[in-house]
């Protein structure tokens, strides 16, 4: 027997800026994207999609397509039973929720432009695409349903006449009824008659976005083996497998789902898609492996969208700046059907509108609405960016009405660091946080006072380029999620996560995890955790994931849960390995278990230099020649962790922009954020997550919108029209961390994946408005494009551009722009 | 069908291709060079960027027949004898990738950028890669990686594969 020095014993891996294990294959092109799969006899699919938002299908003529050389088959929905499928919605938010049937291909009616109606099977993707254009579909157009408010009126055209309404569900939280606070109705009534209070009402629009993962979706199904195998570009291989079994009535043990390398998701691959089901049905029908890979235009048209809310917010506040009540009324656009968790996305916002503030009375009332548009579902932040935008825009508006510095108003109302743990008016208990510390550091890094002075100088000089400063102090709930909380919200699954550790005879470890990465760096971060827990080298750990054959149990990756839930399962599995190894170590060392301690990868007998390494024990149980009676010769372990609470990262984000008052062009000038994400496993990965999150949140504020015309046609259906930010559109961000360790998990970690996106959008919009408010501009809808900013300035100064004010709002939203008014006093000016 | 003879990552290939076949389809579907990927259908994303005779092109915007008689270098041809190209190394060192889907194109474009401008400013880098979209990184670490590579690459140095000796590979069937 040998004992080896553990090289990593001195320096813990957790906290190191390890370069990623994942990188080598990605920077050399040795990748395993789903579309790279090339199986013998593989056939290719192309979907025929509806150009109309709402239409009855009178007939589908596939005869010409079938004549195209190389075409194997052309199927309508009925040919493969795709019209009879009910794609799953796992989150029935209310008992009486209305849920229309969502087929894999439309049989008799299409309900959004882009919905599939037929599929071509051919020897190559190019032939399939050519033939798809030969499929003749006879449509009879119906009225599109595009405007949420119109859709809820009596006599409105119904997307799904069979359910009798365009309302999916109404979900209400009232702190008076819940006992977590007072009644908002009473608070507002009191404020009305109180000369020391004001009431501020605003309407904000959360435009529709598209996640735009860079790898287009792709699914390959091989039906030729004993188990049917599906490769898919998905965030959720485990959920997908179980749902396929449930939806199609397939025996679950005859299915294997693999998420190979997956190129980004951002919530956009948190779905059980019509195309996945369709591909499976076709594969079964033809008995050959088949592949479906979407084009980018198909992706923008048919992969789920995100956001899309109308927010009516009312806040009552004392004139010295104490919030007395907050009323939130939302309309949330579901699109044509319900996605996997679509109806629950806006409901997550119910817990976040109160944000970091102490609010004595709160009410949240959300109505989900069906329209003839692409479905909406999770997109980075899912419900929390919408809520954070609403409250952080409103905080600025109220500060303005009070004549108070916006940060001062926030300070007056936020939870102080010595008040944690703090149970909020929406019933969550925030374990830790320090908003003062993050804010003070951010203000100092930003040179807040200096930029305010510069702003004043530019104002005084009347510069063409005016400076604006925007604030967002945010928190979020992530690490989804405690299973009992999900149960109380009628979610269809738990929120636990699993990990298994397999100790190999040579002392290396294979760690199987249930979370499923698509860019996050799990292989690196989890290796760091295991290295510390088991005292073995970082390079001796292999993380296995994304294949239900090796990882049979898991709930996958979304909601910033991989570290805060999945990482803790890894810790728990490692603890079990050590526990199982202990009696064997005692046997090998001829010592009593009580005399052993485990540090640096080694069991030692207290007070002696006798010891045995975990690798030696792994070899000993492999040989199994000599081990204690009554135990199994095995130190592998499996653990499931169910969190007791969410994690609550927070931070202060400060944005400065230059607005060209002659062109309306907004240029980022400076961006500082200080985030508290708890203890950090890998600072390099954390910083990268923040950068990417910021880019997406900033893009919502400045660039992106899924816009529809009045016929329900997606106008931004290519990357020419849907404007992702390029490197030249962004600047380098100044990021930093403060740390309050989470007290609800043993690593003290919080989530980071969504923080940047949740926080940044209101900071940017607040800064744009701050730059031009002195010109009379009150509000601008997102994205604050040059045209909208220019028009806002023109209208505010009485030079209405070309009299086409309505275009300033979201095209097709039918809302004009955000209306707002102050119920009391004369605090409201002009508005765009 | 048209007959083409093309050098890809140092090997010569002869193939009959449909005149409409894109270079990226040829690379992926005929040569199995799946390191080069497709991210859009409008030439916006740059994920498919390769070098054609030493200059970056979006291989979705070049026909395979246009590459006849030319040298193509893809992400798979950058590594030499187990040594990463300095740009690949810089992307790794600076955490300039997350999901990695845009990475092959981003690396090929960044090498081209330094070929034109060995010592670019941050703004010149940002403008030099604006035809390549990344959804994960916010570009900040990509900019750092290009700066890092610039400091490590001698001006004018081209990757070995673009001037190396060649082997010929017989044409594959259709």
Give A61-113 pLDDT, tens digit per residue: 999 999 999 999 999 999 999 999 999 999 999 999 999 999 999 999 999 99
CA distance B157 to B111: 10
pLDDT in tens, A12-43: 999 999 999 999 999 999 999 999 999 999 99
What are the chain A neighbours of B134 within 8 Å (beta carbons)?
214, 727
SS3 of A128, please?
helix
User: pLDDT category, A815, cuts 50, 70, 90?
Assistant: very low
Residue A797 has a CB neighbour count (10 Å cut-off) of: 13
- Cβ of B126 within 8 Å of Cβ of A727? The answer is yes
pLDDT in tens, A426-476: 999 999 999 999 999 999 999 999 999 999 999 999 999 999 999 999 999
Residue B165 scores a pLDDT above 80: no
User: pLDDT category, A797, cuts 50, 70, 90?
Assistant: confident
Nearest to B135 among A36, A724, A727 (CB): A724
| Residue matched to tokens 């009676």 | A629
What pLDDT sits at residue B162? 52
- Cβ of B39 within 8 Å of Cβ of A518? The answer is no
Start-end of H helices in A384-447: 384-402, 406-413, 435-446
Q: Apex CA A796: angle with CA A801 and CA A786, to 5°?
A: 60
| Residue matched to tokens 């740390």 | A739
Whole-angstrom CA distances from A552 to A200, A237, A253, A523, B138 are 52, 10, 10, 18, 34
Rounded mean pLDDT of chain A?
94
- Count Cα atoms within 13 angstroms, Cβ side, for A486: 21
CA distance A553 to A534: 23
> Burial level of A619, CB count in 10 A (0-12/13-18/19+)?
middle
pLDDT in tens, A363-407: 999 999 999 999 999 999 999 999 999 999 999 999 999 999 999
Nearest CA in chain B to A216: B39
| Residue matched to tokens 């069991």 | A603
Contacts 24+ apart (CB under 8 A), A413-417: A413/A321, A413/A322, A413/A323, A413/A357, A413/A358, A413/A359, A414/A356, A414/A357, A414/A358, A414/A473, A415/A356, A415/A357, A415/A358, A417/A740
Residue A352 scores a pLDDT above 60: yes
Residue A6 scores a pLDDT above 90: no
Q: What percent of chain A has pLDDT over 70?
A: 95
What pLDDT sits at residue B168? 58
Lowest mean pLDDT: which of A7-21, A490-504, B109-123?
A7-21
Phi, psi (degrees; rounded to nearest 5) at B83 = -100, 125
What pLDDT sits at residue B156? 52
CA distance A326 to A180: 14
CB pairs under 8 A between A and B: 178
pLDDT in tens, B129-153: 999 999 999 999 999 999 999 999 8
What pLDDT sits at residue B166? 53
Whole-angstrom CA distances from A13 to A107, A563, A752, A787 are 55, 15, 19, 50
What pLDDT sits at residue B167? 57
CA distance A482 to A643: 5
pLDDT in tens, A152-181: 999 999 999 999 999 999 999 999 999 999
Instruction: Please give the distance of CA A243 from its chain centroid, rounded to a whole number.
Output: 20
Positive/negative CA dihedral, A98, A103, A108, A113: positive
User: pLDDT category, A8, cuts 50, 70, 90?
Assistant: very low
Q: Apex CA A684: angle with CA A679 and CA A687, to 5°?
A: 80
Closest-CA residue to A758 (of A616, A559, A574, A561):
A559
What are the chain A neighbours of B137 within 8 Å (beta carbons)?
688, 691-692, 695
Q: A70 touching B, CB under 8 A?
A: no
Q: Which domains does chain B have, with CATH numbers?
A: 2-78+159-169 (3.10.20.30), 86-152 (1.10.150.120)
CA distance A455 to A446: 14
Whether pTM > 0.80 for this model: the answer is yes
Residues pairing with A503 in the sheet: A509
What pLDDT sits at residue A10? 58
pLDDT in tens, B72-100: 999 999 999 999 999 999 999 999 999 99
CA distance A15 to A9: 14
Nearest to A215 among B34, B76, B99 (CB): B99
- Cβ of B135 within 8 Å of Cβ of A26? The answer is no
What pLDDT sits at residue A200? 98
| Structural tokens at position A608 | 């002696």
Provide the CATH topology of domain A23-31+496-641: Aldehyde Oxidoreductase; domain 4 (3.30.365)
- Cβ of A730 within 8 Å of Cβ of B135? The answer is no
User: pLDDT category, A4, cuts 50, 70, 90?
Assistant: very low
What pLDDT sits at residue A798? 84
Rounded to 10 degrees, the C-alpha dihedral A308/A314/A317/A323 comes to -50
Which A residues in the span 105-144 are in contact with B, Cβ-Cβ below 8 Å?
A: 124, 126
Residue A823 scores a pLDDT above 50: no
- Cβ of A296 within 8 Å of Cβ of B127? The answer is no
Residue A632 has a CB neighbour count (10 Å cut-off) of: 10
Q: Apex CA A232: angle with CA A229 and CA A233, to 5°?
A: 165
CA distance A649 to A795: 40
Rounded to 10 degrees, the C-alpha dihedral A422/A428/A432/A435 comes to -80
Residue A403 has a CB neighbour count (10 Å cut-off) of: 10
Q: Average pLDDT for residues A752-759, to the nearest whole number?
A: 96
Query: Where are the domains positioned within chain A?
Result: 23-31+496-641
CA distance A336 to A89: 13
Total H helices, total E strands in chain B:
5, 6
| Predicted complex ipTM | 0.94
What pLDDT sits at residue A825? 36
pLDDT in tens, A576-607: 999 999 999 999 999 999 999 999 999 999 99
pLDDT in tens, A646-697: 999 999 999 999 999 999 999 999 999 999 999 999 999 999 999 999 999 9
CA distance A754 to A738: 17
């Amino acid at each position: 027997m040998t004992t080896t020095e553990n090289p990593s014993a001195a320096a813990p891996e957790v906290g190191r800026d390890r370069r990623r294990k994942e990188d080598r294959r990605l920077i050399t092109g040795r990748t395993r994207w789903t579309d790279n799969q090339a199986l013998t006899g593989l056939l290719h699919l192309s979907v025929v999609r509806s150009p109309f938002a709402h239409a009855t299908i009178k007939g589908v003529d596939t005869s010409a397509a079938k004549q195209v050389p190389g075409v194997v088959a052309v199927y309508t929905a009925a040919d493969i039973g795709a019209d009879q499928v009910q794609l799953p919605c796992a989150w029935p938010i209310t008992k009486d929720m209305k849920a229309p049937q969502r087929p894999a291909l439309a049989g008799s009616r299409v309900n959004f432009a882009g919905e599939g109606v037929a599929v071509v099977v051919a020897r190559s993707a190019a032939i399939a695409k050519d033939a798809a254009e030969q499929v003749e579909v006879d449509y009879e157009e119906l009225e599109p349903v595009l405007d949420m408010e119109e859709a809820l009126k009596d006599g409105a055209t119904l997307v799904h006449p069979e359910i009798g309404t365009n309302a999916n569900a109404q979900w209400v939280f009232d702190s008076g009824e819940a006992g977590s606070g007072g009644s908002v109705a009473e608070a507002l009534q009191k404020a009305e008659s109180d000369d020391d209070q004001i009431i501020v009402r605003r309407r904000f629009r959360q435009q529709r976005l598209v996640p735009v993962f860079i790898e287009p979706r792709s699914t390959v199904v091989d039906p030729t083996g004993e188990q049917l195998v599906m490769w898919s570009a998905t965030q959720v291989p485990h959920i997908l497998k179980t749902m396929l079994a449930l939806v199609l009535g397939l025996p679950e043990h005859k299915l294997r789902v693999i998420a190979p390398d997956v190129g980004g998701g951002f919530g956009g691959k948190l779905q059980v898609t019509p195309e996945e089901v369709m591909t499976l049905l076709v594969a079964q029908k033809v008995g050959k492996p088949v592949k479906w890979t979407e084009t980018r235009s198909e992706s923008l048209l048919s992969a789920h969208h995100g956001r899309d809310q109308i927010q009516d917010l009312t806040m009552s506040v004392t004139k010295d700046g104490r919030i007395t009540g907050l009323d939130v009324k939302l309309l949330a656009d579901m699109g044509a059907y319900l996605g996997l968790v679509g109806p629950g996305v806006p409901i997550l916002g119910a817990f976040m509108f109160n944000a970091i503030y102490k609010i004595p009375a709160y009410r949240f009332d959300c109505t989900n609405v069906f329209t003839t548009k692409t479905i909406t579902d999770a997109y980075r932040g899912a419900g929390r960016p919408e809520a954070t935008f609403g409250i952080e825009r409103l905080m600025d508006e109220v500060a303005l009405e009070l004549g108070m510095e916006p940060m001062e108003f926030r300070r007056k109302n936020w939870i102080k660091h010595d008040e944690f743990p703090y149970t909020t008016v929406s019933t969550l208990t925030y374990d830790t946080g320090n908003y003062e510390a993050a804010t003070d550091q951010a203000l100092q890094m930003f040179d807040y006072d200096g930029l305010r002075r510069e702003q004043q100088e530019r104002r005084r000089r009347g510069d063409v380029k005016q400076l604006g400063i925007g604030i967002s102090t945010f928190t979020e709930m992530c690490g989804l999620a405690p299973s009992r909380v999900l149960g109380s919200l009628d979610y269809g699954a738990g929120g636990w996560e699993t990990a298994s550790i397999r100790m190999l005879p040579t002392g290396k470890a294979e760690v199987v995890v249930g979370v499923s990465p698509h860019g996050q760096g799990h292989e690196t971060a989890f290796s760091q955790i295991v290295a510390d827990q088991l005292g073995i080298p970082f390079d001796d750990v292999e993380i296995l994931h994304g294949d239900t054959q090796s990882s049979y149990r898991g709930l996958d990756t979304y909601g910033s849960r991989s570290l805060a839930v999945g990482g803790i399962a890894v810790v728990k599995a490692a603890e079990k390995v050590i526990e199982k190894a202990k009696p064997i170590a005692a046997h090998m060392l001829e010592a009593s278990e009580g005399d052993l301690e485990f540090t640096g990868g080694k069991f030692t007998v207290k007070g002696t230099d006798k010891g045995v390494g975990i690798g030696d024990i792994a070899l000993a149980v492999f040989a199994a020649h000599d081990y204690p009676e009554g135990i199994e010769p095995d130190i592998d372990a499996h653990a499931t962790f169910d969190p007791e609470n969410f994690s609550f990262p927070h931070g202060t984000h400060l944005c400065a922009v230059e607005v060209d008052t002659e062109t309306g062009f907004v240029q980022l000038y400076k961006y500082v954020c200080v985030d508290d994400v708890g203890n950090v496993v890998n600072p390099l990965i954390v910083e990268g997550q923040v950068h990417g999150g910021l880019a997406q949140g900033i893009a919502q504020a400045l660039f992106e919108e899924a816009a529809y015309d009045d016929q329900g046609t997606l106008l931004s259906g290519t990357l020419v029209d849907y404007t992702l930010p390029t490197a030249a559109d962004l600047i380098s961000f100044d990021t930093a961390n403060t740390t309050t360790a989470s007290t609800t998990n043993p690593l003290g970690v919080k989530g980071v994946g969504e923080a940047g996106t949740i926080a940044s959008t209101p900071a940017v919009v607040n800064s744009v408005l701050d730059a031009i408010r002195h010109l009379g501009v009150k509000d601008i809808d997102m994205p604050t494009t040059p045209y909208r900013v220019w028009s806002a300035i023109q209208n505010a100064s009485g030079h209405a551009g070309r009299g086409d004010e309505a275009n300033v709002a979201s095209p097709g939203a039918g809302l004009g722009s955000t209306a707002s008014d102050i119920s009391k006093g004369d605090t409201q000016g002009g508005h765009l | 069908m048209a007959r083409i003879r093309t050098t890809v990552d140092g090997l010569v290939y002869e193939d009959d291709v449909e005149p409409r076949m894109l270079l990226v389809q040829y690379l992926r579907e005929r040569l199995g060079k799946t390191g080069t990927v497709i991210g859009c259908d409008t030439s916006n994303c740059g994920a498919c960027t390769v070098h054609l005779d030493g200059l970056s092109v979006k291989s979705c915007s070049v026909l395979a027949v246009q590459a006849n008689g030319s040298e193509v270098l893809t992400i798979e041809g950058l590594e030499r004898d187990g040594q990463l190209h300095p740009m690949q190394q810089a992307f790794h060192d600076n955490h300039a990738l997350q999901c990695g889907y845009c990475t092959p194109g981003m690396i090929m474009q960044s090498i081209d950028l330094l070929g034109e401008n060995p010592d670019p400013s941050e703004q010149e880098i940002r403008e030099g890669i604006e035809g390549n979209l990344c959804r994960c990184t916010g570009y900040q670490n990509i900019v750092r990686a290009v700066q890092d590579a610039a400091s490590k690459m001698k001006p004018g140095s081209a990757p070995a594969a673009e001037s190396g000796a060649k082997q010929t590979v017989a044409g594959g069937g259709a």
